[in-house]
Amino acid sequence: MSIMSLEWSGIQQFPPSTQNVLHELLRQLKEKNVTTLTILVMGKGGVGKSSTVNSILGERVASVSAFQSEVRNPIIVSRTRLGFTLNIIDTPGIVEGGYVNEQALETIKRFLLGKTIDILLYVDRLDAYRVDNLDRQVIKAITDTFGKGIWQRGLIVLTHAQLSPPDCLNYDEFFAKRSEALLKYVRLGAGIKKKEFQEHVIPVVLVENSGRCKTNDNGEKVLPNGTVWIVNLMQVITEVLLKGGKSIEVDQKLIEGPNPNNRGKFFIPLILAFQYFFVVKRIQKAIQNDIASESKPLWELRDMGLADGKF
């Protein structure tokens, strides 16, 4: 990947305690020979994707808009620190008018050609109270594009995490309920079996991008449950990366080839052709033989010109 990479100076915007943890994480990754990390950020429109990119980098690189943003192209931002390169790819929302926007998905795919995705951040909002079929469709579209394996390197990020839960639920209960509901749709949309899903848990992490986010005594942004969220997010990303799974190399085959989850289904036409020749053809032949051996009435033979003047 040849992208111009600047020094990750935004890291100095963070309080010293956050910087220390981030440097420690970079050290851990380098120890495992990971010197580049490419994060792909995806989700529906307006959920806080670009804001999250800016929060992670500690600088305003992606344009944020309260209304539908005009920027419809993905961007990649690359920063280096202590010999480590962090790439973040911000993408436009892939939902329009209540449907998955195939065109937006196509643009994202083309943009990713030749790149390797190490981590997927699937962004949604914590303060949404319903999960519906559209969520499932969005997850399915992502899975169909990159293959099921992407979820082994996936995190669900919930923005707008500084909230007071409704209905007398406490914060952690609300978070648990929202996570459970969303994870169920991720499982269904990605077509992952229940057992497999339980064995490989997709982490759900909270984010609060607002400048009004509360801070602790160290000046770090904290959530109502006390979590220092930038530190937590980067820790979970590191864990997911080191736990296993495979990075996704976006090549021509992935972009133009069959849906990566359906490889093997190209045998279906072959099987149908096989059935046609060996089953249908044999039945046809049997019928023809039957007709040929049948003794025909004279009038039929006459019509066929075979009555030899007997009629």
Ligand X SMILES: Nc1nc2c(ncn2[C@@H]2O[C@H](COP(=O)(O)OP(=O)(O)OP(=O)(O)O)[C@@H](O)[C@H]2O)c(=O)[nH]1
Question: What does each C-alpha distance from 35 to 30, 56, 151 come to in angstroms?
Answer: 5, 18, 22
What binding mask, one character per residue, do residues 205-244 give for ligand X by CB under 6 A, x or -?
A: --xxxx----------------------------------
Q: Considering beta carbons, is residue 149 or 165 the nearer one to ligand X?
A: 165
How far apart, in whole angstroms, are the C-alpha atoms of residue 232 and residue 17? 13
What binding mask, one character per residue, do residues 125-164 give for ligand X by CB under 6 A, x or -?
A: ----------------------------------xx----
Q: Is 54 in the site for Mg ion (CB under 5 A)?
A: no
Q: Is 78 in the site for Mg ion (CB under 5 A)?
A: no
Kindly state the helix (H) or strand (E) to which residue 248 belongs, with its residue range: strand 248-249
Question: What does each C-alpha distance from 66 to 69, 108, 218 come to in angstroms?
Answer: 8, 22, 30
User: Which of 2, 4, 31, 66 lies at the binding interface for ligand X (CB under 6 A)?
Assistant: 66
Q: Is 51 in the site for Mg ion (CB under 5 A)?
A: no
Q: Considering beta carbons, is residue 50 or 159 the nearer one to Mg ion?
A: 50
How far apart, in whole angstroms, are the C-alpha atoms of residue 211 and residue 64? 13
Residue 178 binds which entry of Mg ion, ligand X, none, with Cβ cut-offs from 5 to 8 Å by kind? none
Given the rule CB under 5 A, which of 20-28, 41-49, 107-115, 214-222 is the region that contacts Mg ion?
Answer: 41-49
65 labelled as ligand-binding?
yes
Q: CB-based contacts of 9: which residues, under 8 Å, 6+ apart?
A: 59, 79
Residue 78 binds which entry of ligand X, Mg ion, none, with Cβ cut-offs from 5 to 8 Å by kind? none
CB atoms within 10 A of CB 263: 12
**What secondary structure letter does DSSP report for 63?**
-
Q: Considering beta carbons, is residue 64 or 236 the nearer one to ligand X?
A: 64
Instruction: State the minimum distance, in angstroms, from the CB of residue 267 to ligand X.
Output: 39
Q: CB-based contacts of 40: which residues, under 8 Å, 6+ apart?
A: 89, 91, 112, 117, 119, 120, 121
How far apart, in whole angstroms, are the C-alpha atoms of residue 174 and residue 160? 13
Residue 87 binds which entry of Mg ion, ligand X, none, with Cβ cut-offs from 5 to 8 Å by kind? none
Q: Is 38 in the site for Mg ion (CB under 5 A)?
A: no
Kindly state the helix (H) or strand (E) to which residue 134 belongs, with its residue range: helix 133-146
How far apart, in whole angstroms, are the C-alpha atoms of residue 152 and residue 202? 7
Q: Considering beta carbons, is residue 45 or 149 the nearer one to ligand X?
A: 45
C-beta separation of 237 from 22 below 8 A: no
50 labelled as ligand-binding?
yes
Q: Considering beta carbons, is residue 50 or 143 the nearer one to Mg ion?
A: 50
How far apart, in whole angstroms, are the C-alpha atoms of residue 224 and residue 61? 27
How far apart, in whole angstroms, are the C-alpha atoms of residue 101 and residue 132? 17
Place of tokens 């982490």: 203
63 labelled as ligand-binding?
no
153: its two tokens: 């390197």
Instruction: State the minimum distance, in angstroms, from the CB of residue 4 to Mg ion.
Output: 21
C-beta separation of 133 from 174 below 8 A: no
Q: Is 48 in the site for ligand X (CB under 6 A)?
A: yes
User: Which of 18, 38, 50, 209 lies at the binding interface for Mg ion (CB under 5 A)?
Assistant: 50
Q: Is 92 in the site for ligand X (CB under 6 A)?
A: yes
Instruction: State the minimum distance, in angstroms, from the CB of residue 142 to Mg ion.
Output: 16
How many residues lie near Mg ion (CB under 5 A)? 2
Q: Please report, in range form, the residues annotated as the binding site for GTP.
A: 46-51, 65-70, 160, 208-209
Q: Please report, in range form, the residues annotated as the binding site for Mg(2+).
A: 50, 68
Give the interface with Mg ion as residue ranges (CB under 5 A).
49-50
